[in-house]
Amino acid sequence: MSADNGDEFVDDAQVEAADLSGVSGQMLVASGKILAPGLYLVATPIGNLEDITLRALRVLRQVDRIACEDTRQTQKLLNHFGIQTPTVSYHMHNEGSRSEELVVALKAGGRIAVVSDAGTPGIADPGGQIAAAAIAAGIAVYPVPGANAALSGLIASGLPTEEFTFRGFLPAKGGARKTVLEGLARGGEVQVFYEAPHRILDTLADVEAVFGAAQWVVVARELTKLHEEFLRGPVAEVRKTLEGRTVRGEMVLLLAPAAGESVAARAKGSVAAEVAALMAAEGLAEKDALKRVARERRMGKSEAYRELQRGQGRLK
Ligand code: SAM
């Protein structure tokens, strides 16, 4: 089955050849076109129901089945838009077995949509496994793009958008979380995380311990919802603001590249100059300042130490 320009429409000639089981005549009359068989990864809103796309609504109406992370959650969305397509559960606990089952239906010419509770399936949500299984089985996979919390937070963060790394959720346990933060090979790009409201204060405390009180962060809360809020500032201040209230809602945490300095500005200074500046500005011990500079410049510890000594005139 071919499709024009990546679109999934089937033209009239193909309609005749297609397996039309499960497709109502009314649907064909209404659209004049039907969906090609295949897997549709459909983004849904992350709060504001107006963020569903026209294409998402059409696809959700026309597929045979919608595989949902939580069928009850998706049913609310379907009810809102008067969509009566049957649903089936597809979540992290049955992703493997359900993928196999759905791929059998897809191989038989089915049209199946996958949605998560909110946002883009496959992004910190189920979806990736069935996409890979469908591709391996030679089935067409169609992205139906829409809302995503990470990108929505990033574009309104005020941080540079040219380069960023999406890291999903940090580990829930403090020790493991700090280890991940310490191990971030940070260059000039923004780091984007998903975080839960009951963990954000601990995470901000860890960010402060690892990168210093001046590390610029943005907490993007309740995106697209009534109480949408952006907290932008040095991590110590944002933490103080949040400590004073009951923290609720969904959130994205973004870290600015290396304490808000531009990559170009950092590149100009020597390791020794940067270590000295950090010691003066944040009262860090030389070894801690050097550790931070090495990490931010993606240098090995011994290389950074040699650079420091060279800069301090202790190495010929
Ligand atoms: N697949 C989704 C997407 O495309 O954004 C993300 C799913 S992940 C399981 C859920 C996490 O995304 C939340 O814990 C939160 O960190 C973030 N998130 C989802 N909706 C959000 C919103 N409206 N505002 C801020 N963050 C949100």
- Neighbouring C-beta atoms of residue 186, cutoff 10 Å: 20
Query: Residue 266 and residue 63: Cα distance in Å, rounded?
Result: 52
Report the interhelical angle of 95-107 vs 128-136 (nearest 10°). 40
DSSP code at position 164: E
Q: 193 in a domain, yes or no?
A: yes
92 plus 161 within the same structural domain: no
CA–centroid distance, residue 229 to ligand 1 (Å): 14
Q: Residues near ligand 1 with C-beta < 6 Å?
A: 46-47, 116, 118-120, 123-125, 148-150, 194-196, 220, 222-225, 250-252
Residue pair 85/65 in contact (Cβ under 8 Å)? The answer is: yes
Question: Domain check: are 230 and 198 in the same one?
Answer: yes
Range of the domain at 306: 269-311
Domain annotation covers residue 125: yes
pLDDT at 269 (0 to 100): 61
Residues in the chain: 316
Q: Say what the pLDDT of residue 48 is.
A: 98
Name the H helices within the chain.
12-17, 25-31, 54-62, 71-80, 95-107, 128-136, 149-155, 174-182, 200-211, 235-243, 263-268, 271-282, 286-296, 301-311
Q: Does some domain include residue 316? A: no
Same domain, 282 and 175: no
Q: Is there a contact between 178 and 211 (Cβ–Cβ < 8 Å)?
A: no
Please state the atom number of ligand 1 nearest to the C-alpha of residue 121.
Answer: 1
Predicted confidence at residue 289, as pLDDT, reads 85
pLDDT at 275: 80
Residue position matching structure tokens 């004049």: 32
**Ligand 1 atom closest to Cα of 225?**
23
Do residue 142 and residue 215 come from a single domain?
no
Helix axes 301-311, 271-282, angle to 10 degrees: 90
Atom in ligand 1 nearest the alpha carbon of residue 194 = 16
Would you state the pLDDT for residue 314?
Answer: 65
Tally the domains of the chain: 3
| Ligand 1 atom nearest 220 alpha carbon | 25
pLDDT for 265: 42
253: left (phi over 0), alpha (psi -120 to 50) or beta: beta
**Of 120, 191, 250, 254, which is best to mutate to test ligand 1, by the most ligand atoms within 8 angstroms of its C-beta?**
250
| 118, part of any domain | yes
pLDDT < 70 positions in the chain: 1-33, 185-186, 259-269, 281, 297-298, 314-316
pTM score, two decimals?
0.77
Does residue 93 fall inside a structural domain? yes
pLDDT recorded at residue 87: 98
Is residue 9 a contact partner of residue 40, using CB atoms and an 8 Å limit?
Answer: no
